[in-house]
Amino acid sequence: MYEAVVIGASAGGMRALQTVLSGLRSEFPLSVAIVQHVSPSADSYLAEYLDGKCALTVKEAEDKEAMAPGTAYVAPPGYHLLVEKDRSLSLSVDARVNFSCPSIDVLFESAAEAFGRGLIGIVLTGANADGSAGLKSIRARGGLAIVQDPATAEAAFMPRAALETAGADHVAALEEIPALLEKCVSLNEGGAHGAKANG
């Protein structure tokens, strides 16, 4: 039974995130957590921007906030975003991981522990290898991995690195990802606990 989706994006991520998130309905029953690499001194524009473009509620993650369904939480610039076992969110100002804060690996690894096989991890466009180790953790704990098809990514390095390190259950173009997620949700509703969507 899927409970949450985590998404990591870097260079080219803003447009990619918009494509994926705007394809989801407002009643999308899973929680979503997002790390997009930005400069630590950036303002909190991204969440606001995406919220305006999507049916889903998109907001910047607050420390110790409980994750709600149908809501996407974006890591604040300069803070790592982590998921606690009780499905609340935590922030940290620990050292950069993969030269990044927020780091995709930090989100993915903590979410993998919290949700186990109830998690879907998605690696999108980017020009570094953040997210690869995290996606591997997600798969090791029975979660589902989706990677943007590098051939369709604005920056192919990150999805390619994720495929090399972790592999994926699905390699998909951006436009196909919302339908894939809905299919996972329909498995939930059909009661197929922990089953994986097949292409």
Partner 1 sequence: MMEENEREDLEIDLLLEGIRRRYGYDFSNYSHASLKRRLAQLRDRAGLARYTAMLDRVLHDERFFDELLMQMSITVTEMFRDPGFYRAVRDEVVPILKTFPFVKIWHAGCATGEEVYSMAMLLHEEDFLDRVRIYATDFNKHALDAAEKGIYPLEKAQAYAANYQAFGGKGDFADYYTTAYDRVKIKDFLREKVTFSYHNLVTDGVFGEMNLICCRNVLIYFDRTLQERVFRLFTQSLRHGGFLCLGNKESLNFSGIKPLFETADARQRIFKKTGELEHV
Contact residues for partner 1, defined by CB under 8 A = 62-64, 76, 78-80, 82-85, 90-96, 101, 106, 109-110, 113-114, 116, 141
- Strand, coil or helix: what is 134? helix
The residue to which tokens 């939930």 are assigned: 188
Q: Which is nearer to partner 1, 56 or 101 (CB)?
A: 101
Contact, 74 vs 39, CB < 8 A? no
Tokens at residue 104, please? 């995709």
Q: Which is nearer to partner 1, 91 or 129 (CB)?
A: 91
Cα–Cα distance for residue pair 114/129, rounded to 1 Å: 23
Alpha carbon 77 to its chain centroid, in Å, reads 16
In whole angstroms, the minimum distance from the beta carbon of 94 to partner 1 comes to: 7
In whole angstroms, the minimum distance from the beta carbon of 106 to partner 1 comes to: 7
Q: Which is nearer to partner 1, 22 or 88 (CB)?
A: 88
In whole angstroms, the minimum distance from the beta carbon of 39 to partner 1 comes to: 13
Q: Which is nearer to partner 1, 59 or 127 (CB)?
A: 59
Cα–Cα distance for residue pair 156/97, rounded to 1 Å: 20
In whole angstroms, the minimum distance from the beta carbon of 112 to partner 1 comes to: 10
Would you name the residues annotated as active-site residues?
Answer: 10, 37, 130
Torsions phi, psi for 154 (to 5 deg): -60, -40
Q: How far is CA 167 from CA 48, 67, 115, 134, in A?
A: 32, 27, 19, 12
How many CB atoms within 10 Å of residue 95? 8
